[in-house]
A and B are shown apart, each in its own frame.
Chain A
Amino acid sequence: MNKSITNSIRFVFFILLQLYLLDNFLFLDYINPYVYIIFILLLPISMSSIQVMLLSFLLGLTLDVFHNSGGVHAAACLVLGYFRPLALRNAFGVNFDFQTLKFYGEGFKPLLVYVSIMVGIHHLVMFSMEAFSLAYIPRILTNTLYSGIFSIALIILVIYFLKPSKK
């Protein structure tokens, strides 16, 4: 299927998934998984970094409109888009040369590292922006840690679920 159609569908799908399902999750008062960033994680590797950043910003802004949160998610996603090449290089190492990498061909460990770095960055920026004050640092860190663990687990599950079947 055409790449841009796949990505448009993912965009809408992950926003709705976040709004209808995951925003209603509540474990232990703190944990709220944010899985919609899979859209950014799975953008084509060949895409230029400016395109990635613009799409990330748009994704975050869309969620912000629903959450009444101004630019919290927009900022977090933008930072995520900016650091994506760095995270890819760190996680997939030498294989990261833009064209040849396949997310699923590299085994479990690089994928886990990639997802963890990205979720860590996103959650930290998002919770900091949401609190918008130094008074909440312990809360920002606990939120990042607990929600982060759940987000990482769910994101890896969903990524394997989306894996294209071999023909």
Chain B
Amino acid sequence: MKELTPGMMIAVFEEMFGMGLFWALVAGAVLVTLAFLFVVLRDRKLVASRLVRAELLAPIGAIAAILFVQFVTSSGFSDIGGPVDVIALILIGVAGAGGLTVLAYVLQGLLGNRAGKAS
């Protein structure tokens, strides 16, 4: 690849997911992030019990993300061929784990009790 500008990356992602889905995903990610910030600022703290429950889902998010990538690319664990593959696998797992943890925390924060009544 000759150059990797942000504009080009966005063009590639738009083609990868389709214009609508890509920006819907971006909007979704932004909304969840904003909701997370809202819940944390509202509660003025990270609620430990909520966070622990959310973190329990992290391994599921990690495994789901990895299996999803393998499913859409006709590949599996036996195709890991070098260190960069392990790094990529870990990054995909971390993204899945982090994403699901934040989402779970936000959902608990919005749908469950407020921090003061949480415990």
A and B physically associate: no
Interface residues of B (CB under 8 A from A): none
Interface residues of A (CB under 8 A from B): none
